[in-house]
Amino acid sequence: MTIQAGATIADSASASPPRRRPGRPRAPRNLGISAYSIVVFAILLVPIVYTIVFSFNDVRRTNIVWRGFTLDNWLGICDIERVCSAFGNSILVGVTATIFAAAMGTAIAIALVRYRFRFRNTLTILLFLPMATPELILGASLSSQLVNMGFEKNLTTVIIAHIMFCISFVVVTVRARVASIDPALEEAGRDLYGSPFQVFLRITLPLLLPGIIAASLLSFALSFDDFVITNFVSGAAETLPKFIYTAASRSIPAQANVFASAVFLLAIAIVVISQVSSGIRRRRLQREG
């Protein structure tokens, strides 16, 4: 009986093929979201595409009407000396402000997360003020303060102002990274007779590095792009946004489009390289695991 029952079950199994599990139903297409996404991307990308295209424009008097394709603007990028000087000043201010803001902001973020001290909550609130204050008010206040203190407005005052408002963004970004680090890792380093400097250099800093890099990139972008505060505290010094604003009343030279296009393409290249390297590293770890 057992053999016959087994044969009957086998025959029935072979006779009736197994049912396929129904796949997930396709999500209905939302035309409204698709149209909205296209409009948003168009609003974001059209000015960028316009800037890149007109960096190759054969400029005569103005760079508003397309007159033909040329590489002269890229090959003679410093034909207008003020453009290169303003771009160099923007790079100098951005890099210097980013270095100081990243160093001080990281130290402040570690102190706010790891230590308890008086006026800690007050300091946290004060750090958010530069982010919440309109740039017009902040720039006018800084300009008045510099005048009252007898400072001459130049690139140094621009760097000081940029460090001031970049620190807030660094603290907010790095603070979240510090809060996510397990203190037991640092305690393990101290248990292995590591000095405080060694523990910070070999354990804390590598764990904080992604947050510091993200905060530094954000600080540089904010500093490089700033016009309002810079216009109040720069005096005769000229950065690229200030030069473009001044030149816009006449005609923005094509070299300004070249610099803007180069910065945009460089940023895209950095993002692509970062994503590709992260993907390669992730696949390598998966294979090793």
Query: Domains of the chain, with CATH numbers?
Result: 82-250 (1.10.3720.10)
Amino acid at 148: N
Q: Does pLDDT of 179 surpass 90? A: no
Question: How much is the pLDDT for 6?
Answer: 46
pLDDT-derived band at 257 (thresholds 50, 70, 90) equals confident
Of 225, 90, 99, the residue nearest 163 (C-alpha): 99
pLDDT-derived band at 22 (thresholds 50, 70, 90) equals low
pLDDT-derived band at 231 (thresholds 50, 70, 90) equals very high
Q: DSSP letter at 57? A: B
Structure tokens at 180: 């996510």
User: 261 - beta bridge partners?
Assistant: none
Q: DSSP letter at 118? A: T
pLDDT-derived band at 166 (thresholds 50, 70, 90) equals very high
pLDDT-derived band at 158 (thresholds 50, 70, 90) equals very high
Q: Are 151 and 159 in contact (CB under 8 A)?
A: no
User: 69 - beta bridge partners?
Assistant: 57
Q: DSSP letter at 250? A: T
Question: How much is the pLDDT for 21?
Answer: 52
Residues 95 and 217: their CA atoms lie apart, in Å, by: 10
- In this prediction the pTM is 0.77
Question: How much is the pLDDT for 100?
Answer: 96
Mean of pLDDT values over 11-18: 48
Question: How much is the pLDDT for 1?
Answer: 40
Q: What is the rounded end-to-end Cα distance, in angstroms, of the chain?
A: 51
Average pLDDT over the chain reads: 83
Residues 168 and 130: their CA atoms lie apart, in Å, by: 7
**For tokens 């508003």, what's the residue?**
64
